[in-house]
Copies of this chain bind each other. A is one copy, B any other.
Amino acid sequence: MYRFALLFICLLFTTNHLLVAQTDEDAFFIKEIYNTALTKGKAYEWLYHLSENIGGRLAGSPQAAAAVEYTKQLMDTLGMDEVSLQECMVPHWERGEKEVVRIVNSYQIGSLELKALSLGNSIGTGDNGLTAEVIEVQTLDELDSLGFDKVNGKIVFFNRPLDPTKLNTFSAYGGAADQRVFGASRAAKYGGVAALVRSLTTRNDNVPHTGVMIYEEGIPQVPAIAISTNDANLLSRLLKKEPVNVYMSNTSRNLSKKKSYNVIGEIKGSEFPNEIILVGGHLDSWDVGGGAHDDGAGCVHALDVIQVLKRLNYKPKRTIRCVMFMNEENGQAGAIAYRDESDAKGEFHMAAIESDRGGFTPRGFTCDADKEIFEEKFRKITDWLPLLQPYGLDLKKGGSGADIARLKPQKGLLFGFEPDTQRYFDYHHTDIDRIDAVNKRELQLGVAAIASLIYLLDQYGI
């Protein structure tokens, strides 16, 4: 339809007609993309399968293997020129039995079990668990200032909330994540026997949030478990009045690495096949819940972009490559394997777009690149804003995505899809990150937003 309109416009204008035609053709095609994503989109249906039937899919798990198989089969049906698996060796962590965190000696409340989830990579407590007095800190620095005498033999409770005044909840998360990632080793450095970590969420509720933690080399490994924000608030209140002992038990363990895969499909470009436009998300999630927003949404965004462009019979000039990265959550083995092979082949990713901030209403894209090219290229793409702003989409400077950031030395543009951030940390790394937390229209609009940017990148290059 837009081609007829284009023809009409070309007939009307005798000067500058190419410019006018181009802009109008673009506007028409982007509208077609939106109409298609909103009426013929598959993202929600695919996400239902990925998050509910397959479920949580931590790297190394049978569910992750099933997700590889499922998305490869999906790609096979999309009429791409090539679909392949790319091997990578992933960490293999298992949660084990249901973890227990119990207040055992409070004069105020007696014994109480807290809502808890072991952090990813955490070791277990051993069969008998452990019991120790709890000491609360807000920051890693505060722990340093307490030193060995005050920390030795204790469970260190990291209780710094996300800053509620930060509008972008990812900034709030970024400001609090160090306690989850590095808390256990810092505690152990001073003789701490375990870490309890306040869940990284903007809500006060009963839902514990897992996520990666990393052991520092040369420091004894101690268990690390997250507790819900309501329980963290309770524990903190108790500690203001009396010493509190906590019993912790978990059987988490790190097993030997396993083979897994990135799933990759591409449509070869007709004019510039060596200029690659990557679109992707990460296929793995945490083991609890369904990984619906994190990052099932990003995966189905990317897959449905292909479906929508194919349905519109779009023939790209450049190569569009769809990548489901494995193991973003605890090691990024997939991203590393991808980068290594791409560099070895001398590929050029002209652009890469990662969706890993959930399936909420789109706000635009953050953009990053090697500083040598960034300003000039970024200025160029902001010329497209009149085509994107009618859909509520902005382009701004900022980070891209954990999986694609390693492609920066190839000197293309790296984009992070940016939806509304307010609800993301209600669900992030929890048992409630499931399909019912995803709004179908919001998800579909994400597909349309990403497909529109890919269309412009493909049409005009950078």
| A positions within 8 Å CB-CB of B | 34-35, 38-39, 164-165, 167, 169, 202-203, 361, 363, 391-392, 420, 422-423, 426, 439-442, 445
Contacts and interface: CB of A to CB of B under 8 A. Distances in A.
B165 A34 contact: yes
B440 A423 contact: no
A442 B422 CA distance: 7
B420 A439 contact: no
Contacts of A442: 422-423
Nearest to A423: B439
Nearest to A31: B165
A447 to B, nearest CB: 13
B363 A422 contact: no
Contact of A422 (B39, B361, B426): B361
Given A363-B392, A420-B361, A420-B420, A167 B439 contact: no
A346 to B, nearest CB: 41
B426 A39 contact: no
A164 B392 contact: no
A135 to B, nearest CB: 27
Nearest to A167: B391
A49 to B, nearest CB: 18
A167 B392 contact: yes
Nearest to A34: B165
B440 A203 contact: yes
Contacts of A420: 361, 420
A339 B164 CA distance: 39
A27 to B, nearest CB: 14
Contact of A164 (B39, B164, B422): B39
A167 to B, nearest CB: 7
14 contacts: A34-B165, A35-B165, A38-B165, A39-B165, A167-B392, A169-B441, A202-B441, A203-B440, A361-B361, A361-B420, A363-B392, A422-B441, A422-B445, A423-B439
A392 B442 CA distance: 18
A265 to B, nearest CB: 27
Ranked nearest first, the 3 interchain pairs of A and B with the lowest CB-CB distance are A35-B165, A38-B164, A422-B441
Nearest to A169: B441
Contacts of A35: 165
A365 to B, nearest CB: 15
A169 to B, nearest CB: 8
A420 B202 CA distance: 20
A361 B361 CA distance: 10
Contacts of A361: 361, 420, 422
Nearest to A35: B165
A442 B363 CA distance: 15
Contacts of A34: 165, 167
A298 B339 CA distance: 50
A441 B39 CA distance: 30
Nearest to A32: B165
A176 to B, nearest CB: 16
Contacts of A167: 34, 391-392, 445
Given A38-B164, A422-B441, A422-B442, 9 more contacts: A34-B167, A39-B165, A169-B441, A361-B422, A363-B392, A420-B420, A422-B439, A423-B439, A423-B442
Contacts of A392: 167, 363
A164 B167 CA distance: 30
A167 B169 CA distance: 25
